[in-house]
Chain A
Amino acid sequence: MQTPSKSEAVRLASIANELRVWIIDMLEEAKSGHPGGSLSAIDIITALWFRDMRGADPRVPAADRDRFILSKGHAVPALYAVLAKKGFIGVDELKTLRRTGSRLQGHPDRVRMPIVEASTGSLGQGLSVAQGLALGFKLDGKTSRVYCLIGDGELQEGQIWEAMMSAPKFELSNLCVILDANNGQIDGHVSEVMPIEPIAEKWRAFGWHVVEINGHDMEQILEALQGARELEKDGGKKPVFILARTVKGKGVSFMENKIEWHGAAPKAEDAKRAREELAKLQNGGHKHG
């Protein structure tokens, strides 16, 4: 894969912003859900599915694709938006989020929707499942890579640290973990509820290759993902940890860094304001491109 160009980054940032609007629309329609963490994660998830993940195309057989697990399952509206934009699910289906009978469950459900790979939503579990996939691919000599997006509040779960310990032991260089470090959780800021810093030093001490980026700078995201892929290609043994510093509610001014938008859906008036802001952001983005 060639070094991502600046114009490629601009194109993907524009897609991510369009999907921000879709996220707002979905949550408004569903009348519940988690905007804060969806908006902080959307740039990363867009980069993965639109550029980095091999075979992220509905026509590629599932067995040959790279895999993505959303361990912070409450951000699943961001993933649904990406899957709809990619054509894995219908755009109209997004309106069924959280409805009775819909496969767009409030948290990822791999039985109803196999492409989400793992059923998550109880925090701390997705990384172990991702590790199992990566290990299985290694055992079979397959080249599929596994990506896992976790949240920073999620680092408070003990199971994460168990997986942090074991992935380097198994030399899972085909595993790439991305931390959506938005410093927000339900009861407040992560730094107050239960401090977890210094994050980078901790992962490094556990044996991971650590890269720290701005999780909303598309060029940095693409560069970090490509770096992880090249590390494996060059015979690296370490799994990769990308510490992405993000803003909860990114892109909608009145949601940014506001804990109350962790798990509250926008009502009509808020949704309208959010769409207007995002439209401005989109136009601004194009100008710079």
Chain B
Amino acid sequence: MAKATRQSFGEALARLGESHPEIVVLDADLSKSTKSDLFAKKFPNRFIEMGIAEANMIGTAAGLSFTGKLPFLCSFGCFLTGRYDTIRLSVAYAQANVRLIGTHAGIGIGDDGHSQMGLEDISLMRALPTMGVFQPMDAKETDLLMDFLVNEWKGPAYVRLTRQALPDLFPANAKFIPGKLLQVLPATGKAQVICIATGATVAEGVKAAQALASQGIPMAVWNAHSLKPFDEQTTLSLAKDAKLLVTVEDHSVIGGLGSCVAEALATAPAHAPLLRLGVQDTFGESGEADELYEKHGLSANQIVRRVQLALKGEFAEATRGPRHHA
């Protein structure tokens, strides 16, 4: 059943709160949107409403973690990561054991537009030493990621979640292995194209692969739930035999998944070319989510078209996106 990853997060947090009394949750006046309200209703004494003051929330969470608490602090991704210096010093440098939850990832939020869309958050968080960066693609993966973040991960971590519902994609018998890529859809025959997607765009990648298969272009789809640590090893082995690698993300192409893959490939003496699909160095805008995915080149339809262009070597056209205020 399709579900927003923020919803799955809220449910998992309320579930984990029972067995983990050290969990406390902070929100900055967005608990109904981030779904931290599900925890708040169940554990009102462990929910801390910070008001519209994100920097203070981040510092307070760091302090709480130093007393042995496991704080989850929630807001929209753009508002949280916008308080960069506080995250950098009070949390990352101090190796504070906190979980930063950034919802409303990407242009997929639609109507609310540019100021509410987290589009550079992965890039910003990935640049911070000690910070883990994760983005689940569906309900099951969110659940598994939450278990991992509560039971195993130590130090700061950033989690990126969607406002919109995402279809179930996690393969029935698959394991969630942190730091590793997960194959969601094998290619029909030997893969010519390897698609690596993350979060909301994995579903678009799967639809695109089905369309490309009917055109005789086998494409495998992999999911990157872990942006940091990133699975460079699998990326390199996938790049060995493919004709083309394509990354798809509802995030700026600068510093996100596309950059993770490019950085991995850069160490190989020879590799397939890389097509980086995502928001092409521009800001977000209001609109219907599916129309925005089409406009910015993230829809299944656009992935198909752009993969075809890239296979012909036409990368400039394949990566063309709307310019800011153009």
- Can you list, as one digit per residue, whether each of B61-82 has a CB less than 8 Å from chain A (1) or not (0)? 1111111110100000000000
Task: Select the residue from B53, B59, B61, B90 with max chain A CB neighbours within 10 A.
Answer: B59
- With A128-B55, A136-B68, A159-B56 in contact, do A118 and B62 touch (Cβ < 8 Å)? yes
What are the interface flags for B11-37 relative to A under an 8 Å C-beta threshold, 1 for contact and 0 otherwise? 000000000000010000000000000
B67-A129 in contact (CB<8A) = no
**B50 in contact with A166 (CB, 8 Å):** yes
| B59 partner, pick from A111, A131, A158, A165, beta carbons under 8 A | A131
A129 and chain B: residue at smallest CB distance: B63
In contact, A122 and B85 (Cβ under 8 angstroms) = yes
Using a CB-CB cutoff of 8 Å, which residues 116-160 of chain A contact chain B? Answer: 117-122, 124-137, 139-140, 142, 158-159
Q: Is the interface of B mostly helix, strand, loop or mixed?
A: helix
Residues of A within 8 A of B62 (CB): 118, 128-129, 132
A132 and B94 in contact, given A159-B86, A165-B53, A166-B50 (Cβ under 8 angstroms) = no
Q: Which residues from chain A contact B63 at a C-beta distance below 8 Å?
A: 118, 128-136
Chain B residues within an 8 Å CB radius of A133: 63-64, 66-67
Chain A hits for B85, CB < 8 A: 122, 125
State whether the Cβ of A240 lies closer than 8 Å to any Cβ in chain B.
Answer: no
Closest to A148 in B: B63
Whose C-beta in chain A lies nearest to the C-beta of B52? A162
Residue of B nearest to A137 (CB): B67
Q: Indicate with 1 or 0, residue by residue over A92-133, a CB within 8 angstroms of chain B CB atoms.
A: 000000000000000001110000011111101111111111
Closest Cβ of chain A: how far from B276's Cβ, in Å? 33
Q: Nearest Cβ distance between residue B17 and chain A, in whole angstroms?
A: 14
Which of the residues A120, A140, A163, A166 comes within 8 Å of B67, measured between beta carbons?
A140
Q: Which residues of B contact A134 (CB under 8 A)?
A: 63
At the interface, yes or no: B162 with Cβ under 8 Å from chain A? no
Contact B89 A166 (CB under 8 A): no
Given the contacts A111-B94, A120-B89, A122-B85, A162 and B64 also touching, CB distance less than 8 Å = no
**Nearest Cβ distance between residue A288 and chain B, in whole angstroms?**
41
- Size of chain B's interface in residues, with CB distance under 8 A? 31
CA distance A154 to B73 in the complex (A): 25
Residues of A within 8 A of B51 (CB): 165-166
Give every chain B residue within 8 A of A166 (Cβ-Cβ). Answer: 50-51, 53, 56, 60
Chain B residues contacting A118 (CB-CB under 8 Å) are 62-63, 66, 90, 94
On chain A, the residues within 8 Å of B24 by CB distance are 139
Interfacial chain A residues near B56, Cβ < 8 Å: 128, 131, 159, 162-163, 165-166
Q: How would residues 26 to 67 of chain A score, 1 for a CB under 8 Å from any chain B CB and 0 otherwise?
A: 000000000000000000000000000000000000000000
Give the shortest distance, in Å, between B78 (CB) and chain A (any CB): 18
When chains A and B are docked, how far (Å) is the Cα of A142 from the Cα of B95? 24
What residues on B are CB-neighbors of A125 within 8 Å?
A: 55, 59, 85-86, 89-90
8 A Cβ contacts from B33-60 to A? 45-46, 48, 50-51, 53, 55-60
CB contacts (< 8 Å) of B53 on chain A: these are: 162, 165-166
Closest to B54 in A: A162
Q: Which residues of B contact A110 (CB under 8 A)?
A: 66, 94
Bound complex: CA of A131 vs CA of B56, how far in Å? 9
Contacts of B94 in A (CB 8 A): 110-111, 118-119, 129
Chain A residues with CB under 8 Å of B148's CB are: none
Give bound CA distance, A133 to B66, whole Å: 7
Contact call B59/A127, Cβ cutoff below 8 A = yes
**Contacting residues, chain A, for B55 (C-beta < 8 A):** 124-125, 128, 158-159, 162
Instruction: Indicate the member of B51, B53, B95 with the most A CB atoms within 10 Å.
Output: B53
A110 to B94, CA, bound (A): 6
What are the 10 tightest A-B residue pairs by CB atom distance, in nearest-first order? A132-B63, A128-B59, A136-B67, A162-B56, A162-B53, A132-B60, A129-B63, A119-B94, A133-B63, A132-B64
Where the two chains meet, the residues of B that have a C-beta atom closer than 8 Å to any C-beta of A are 24, 45-46, 48, 50-51, 53, 55-69, 71, 85-86, 88-90, 93-95
Can you give 16 A-B contacts (C-beta < 8 A)? A111-B94, A119-B93, A119-B94, A125-B86, A128-B59, A128-B63, A132-B66, A132-B67, A133-B63, A136-B63, A136-B67, A139-B69, A140-B67, A159-B59, A165-B56, A170-B48
Interface residues of chain A, those whose CB is within 8 Å of chain B, are: 109-111, 117-122, 124-137, 139-140, 142, 158-159, 162-163, 165-166, 170
- Apart from A129-B63, A132-B63, A132-B64, list 9 A-B contacts with CB within 8 A: A119-B89, A119-B90, A121-B89, A125-B89, A127-B59, A129-B62, A132-B62, A159-B56, A165-B53
